[in-house]
Amino acid sequence: MADAGLALLIVGFESFSPRILKWFKKGVMVEQNFRAAEICHKHGVKIWANYILGVPTDTGWHKEDDLMTVEGVLRINPVHYSPAFYTPVPGSMLYDFYKNEDQILGEEDNERLSNRGAMAPKVKGVDYEFLQAIMIDDSAL
């Protein structure tokens, strides 16, 4: 792949937690995320890893999901990290779930919901201080 000119691949891994991948209906398993990274490394393609922290499911927010994700991102050894706190997108099934459960922070603030930056908390019941402590991004390189 690198021989053909592909130098960097931006991959939306999103999570390395089975619970979160299932909740997002990603259609992949954690091992497939690891395998994709292995294939990229084998063929000399650098990885830019997008990942999401702070995702509550129907059973609430579980810090172990985020710890698994950070550990997974470190394991795949990307050249760039692109973290984001979960953003419920208006019009999506998950947005409707969080809205019905009254879990959205600043729901009427469209700017907050459209800003997927890692520093903007968007969902109730998530320990954002913990997430900032475990988050890895390019500033950690």
Model pLDDT for residues 75-130, shown as the tens digit of each residue = 999 999 899 999 888 888 899 999 999 998 875 555 555 655 567 888 999 999 99
Name the pTM for this structure: 0.87
d(CA 133, CA 109): 26
Pick the CATH number of 2-135 from 3.40.50.1820, 3.40.50.2300, 3.40.50.150, 3.30.750.200: 3.30.750.200
pLDDT band at 71 (very low <50, low <70, confident <90, very high): very high
Mean pLDDT for the chain? Answer: 89
Tell whether the model's pLDDT for residue 48 goes beyond 60.
yes
pLDDT mean over 60-66: 97
